[in-house]
Chain A
């Protein structure tokens, strides 16, 4: 509707060329680089044409916020500042996005929890903010170690939620994430999660797109709600709109508003499949024993499959890339031949296993585990042990490791 013009082929003030995103991500030459996950976040944002990054860099979970401050100093970010708390940061992100900016932030663990009120607000206001969540423990006594429990709290906020396995996923999905979440029929915030430390602090070879290419800028005139209209919801939140009224019409409007947010999550399915090449990846999908996992539990599951192969046990793998939209149909199809489905997780409650049990027929096939939490690692051997025990095979106890 707006008088939009294509920026493709033109240059920004840093001399980067606004490039067709599909060509940039899928056809441009890639340069192998040896980076930590935090450095990879910085490199993705260098190419993301971000207008605003707001940071609360107390967390030791990731250096990303500080590194993006360097990007601001270099001139790659329009504006950058520190909030007074995580709650303040997320509120300020909303303000920037209401104003039509492409916004980026990071958080982890207790910071995610402290800022939680903002996330359904972002979704309800249809703000396509991208938030990196480098997951860590959230409960007392506090921990700075990896633990994915906070993802469970994000699943019903109305945000898109993706769970990266590797630093390569992280680099690609940060850039692709903006393409999905800024679609006018989606236009929702994205929580791009990874398992802190395992991804953020370890170095890996990541294939980067050329520095001289960047995403085209965000176009706020494609937004499904008016940009920065102080007279109307969602910007005008308290006076007149629904919260202050007690009648059927205001309730029905609010209910429809909520439904529209979740309708937008559903609409993101098509775009997510397009950009991520599916909501899941599968290996050996015809196997009778399957591991279904997300995040770094996928890597551990993959290694467990290799160990099991050595012992003559064939096992398949489902890597869940997107948690919202939820790949229910894909998981049903990928596990239709499985007699046993194992769900290794880095959290105490097993939220992924619960989601899978609610998705597939004959949910007694799901073995919710193994679980580790509080920063524990998950040796592939404990996945192997869990599977062998369930199959009635002899398995060495790992309880004495390190003694």
Chain B
């Protein structure tokens, strides 16, 4: 049993992949929090708490939901939009929810515009620039999601959530697997349920930008 835990960083100049530290992916019906396998229901609650306590909770939708390449993707995109609207309704004054797309994976040289997009090759730039302290990836191909999650863990203090359509992500601090429209909406329900019960970290709080 590994003692390693997947925690907000900054972790290391080059942090290890969580899988190589003995962190296993959840089985169907499970999720993980900090690398510990938990029932999925517990993960909904924790993800909702993290969103509601963050100063800049942010959703990063990737190409698999941004482009209407099939009917399911279009429905997921609508669910992501609904989740974002729910988040905006449920946060308190001073919190600033954001929805920043990852439209593709092309390295953005010579300069990315971190105001408007995030890129898996240098996601830390978007985290730092927008002072994002909690984020969720959805619709990002698994390889690119893991790159992003690890780079974010390495260089920022941002709390990362993955809503993965496949097997999940060890490199996130919290990961769902087998994401569906229903699961996305259920997370929104949990956010609504916990509205007003979670104290947000506001101005004085440590954010991803602080490191």
Q: Decide if B14 touches A252 in the complex (CB within 8 Å).
A: yes
CB 8 Å contact bits of A198-235 with B (1 = contact, 0 = none): 00000000000000000000000011111001011100
Stretch of B3-11, B50-58, B88-96, B147-155 lying at the A interface: B147-155
* Partner of A270 from B24, B72, B121 at Cβ < 8 Å: B24
Q: Which residue of B lies closest to A254 (CB)?
A: B121
* Partner of A253 from B142, B151, B165, B168 at Cβ < 8 Å: B151
Answer yes or no: A83 CB below 8 A from chain B CBs.
no
- In the assembly, what is the distance between CA of A358 and CA of B171, in Å? 27
Q: Decide if A245 touches B109 in the complex (CB within 8 Å).
A: yes
Which has the most chain B C-beta neighbours within 10 Å: A232, A245, A264?
A: A232
Q: Decide if B147 touches A256 in the complex (CB within 8 Å).
A: yes
Q: Decide if A126 touches B70 in the complex (CB within 8 Å).
A: no
Given contacts A185-B142, A185-B166, A252-B14, are A259 and B20 in contact (CB under 8 A)? Answer: yes
Q: How far is the CB of B54 from chain A (nearest CB, A)?
A: 24
- In the assembly, what is the distance between CA of A4 and CA of B166, in Å? 12
Q: How far is the CB of A94 from chain B (nearest CB, A)?
A: 16
- In the assembly, what is the distance between CA of A241 and CA of B119, in Å? 13
Q: How far is the CB of A25 from chain B (nearest CB, A)?
A: 21
Given contacts A224-B141, A263-B17, A263-B20, are A257 and B147 in contact (CB under 8 A)? Answer: yes
Q: Decide if A224 touches B143 in the complex (CB within 8 Å).
A: yes
Answer yes or no: B202 CB below 8 A from chain A CBs.
no
Given contacts A3-B71, A185-B25, A225-B144, are A232 and B170 in contact (CB under 8 A)? Answer: no
Q: Which residue of B lies closest to A183 (CB)?
A: B167
Q: Which residue of B lies closest to A268 (CB)?
A: B19
Given contacts A1-B64, A225-B144, are A256 and B24 in contact (CB under 8 A)? Answer: no
Answer yes or no: A260 CB below 8 A from chain B CBs.
yes
* Partner of B166 from A1, A229, A250, A253 at Cβ < 8 Å: A1
* Partner of A259 from B16, B139, B165, B167 at Cβ < 8 Å: B16
Residues in B59-113 with C-beta less than 8 Å from chain A: 63-65, 70-73, 76, 104-107, 109
* Partner of B167 from A185, A257, A266 at Cβ < 8 Å: A185
Q: How far is the CB of A245 from chain B (nearest CB, A)?
A: 7
Given contacts A2-B70, A249-B122, A252-B154, are A226 and B17 in contact (CB under 8 A)? Answer: no
Chain B residues whose CB sits within 8 angstroms of the CB of A229 once the complex forms: 105
Q: Decide if B143 touches A126 in the complex (CB within 8 Å).
A: yes
Residues in B163-186 with C-beta less than 8 Å from chain A: 165-168, 170-171
Q: Decide if B147 touches A225 in the complex (CB within 8 Å).
A: no
What's the count of A-B pairs with C-beta under 8 Å?
A: 104
Answer yes or no: A184 CB below 8 A from chain B CBs.
yes
Chain B residues whose CB sits within 8 angstroms of the CB of A263 once the complex forms: 17-20, 146, 170-171
Answer yes or no: A365 CB below 8 A from chain B CBs.
no
Answer yes or no: A35 CB below 8 A from chain B CBs.
no
Chain B residues whose CB sits within 8 angstroms of the CB of A183 once the complex forms: 167
- In the assembly, what is the distance between CA of A231 and CA of B104, in Å? 9
Answer yes or no: A393 CB below 8 A from chain B CBs.
no
Q: Decide if B17 touches A262 in the complex (CB within 8 Å).
A: yes
Q: Decide if A1 touches B73 in the complex (CB within 8 Å).
A: yes
- In the assembly, what is the distance between CA of A233 and CA of B143, in Å? 11
Residues in A241-277 with C-beta less than 8 Å from chain B: 241-242, 245, 249-250, 252-253, 255-257, 259-260, 262-264, 266-267, 270
Q: Decide if B147 touches A232 in the complex (CB within 8 Å).
A: no
Answer yes or no: A240 CB below 8 A from chain B CBs.
yes
Q: Decide if B167 touches A184 in the complex (CB within 8 Å).
A: yes
Q: Decide if A1 touches B72 in the complex (CB within 8 Å).
A: yes
Chain B residues whose CB sits within 8 angstroms of the CB of A126 once the complex forms: 143
Q: Decide if A233 touches B24 in the complex (CB within 8 Å).
A: no
- In the assembly, what is the distance between CA of A264 and CA of B69, in Å? 27
Q: Decide if A260 touches B150 in the complex (CB within 8 Å).
A: yes
* Partner of A222 from B18, B122, B166, B168 at Cβ < 8 Å: B166
* Partner of B107 from A3, A185, A241 at Cβ < 8 Å: A241
Chain B residues whose CB sits within 8 angstroms of the CB of A236 once the complex forms: 106
- In the assembly, what is the distance between CA of A267 and CA of B146, in Å? 13
Q: How far is the CB of A76 from chain B (nearest CB, A)?
A: 29
Chain B residues whose CB sits within 8 angstroms of the CB of A242 once the complex forms: 107, 121
Q: Decide if A226 touches B150 in the complex (CB within 8 Å).
A: no
- In the assembly, what is the distance between CA of A255 and CA of B121, in Å? 11
Interface residues of A (CB under 8 A from B): 1-3, 126, 183-185, 187, 222-226, 229, 231-233, 236, 240-242, 245, 249-250, 252-253, 255-257, 259-260, 262-264, 266-267, 270
Q: What are 25 inter-chain pairs, A to B, with CB distance below 8 A?
A: A1-B76, A1-B139, A1-B165, A185-B142, A187-B143, A224-B142, A224-B143, A224-B146, A225-B141, A233-B105, A241-B107, A242-B107, A249-B121, A250-B121, A252-B154, A259-B16, A260-B150, A262-B20, A263-B17, A263-B18, A263-B146, A266-B19, A266-B20, A267-B25, A267-B167
Other contacts beyond A1-B139, A2-B72: 18, CB < 8 A: A1-B73, A184-B166, A224-B141, A224-B166, A225-B143, A231-B106, A232-B106, A249-B121, A253-B147, A253-B151, A259-B17, A260-B143, A260-B147, A260-B150, A263-B18, A263-B171, A266-B17, A266-B20
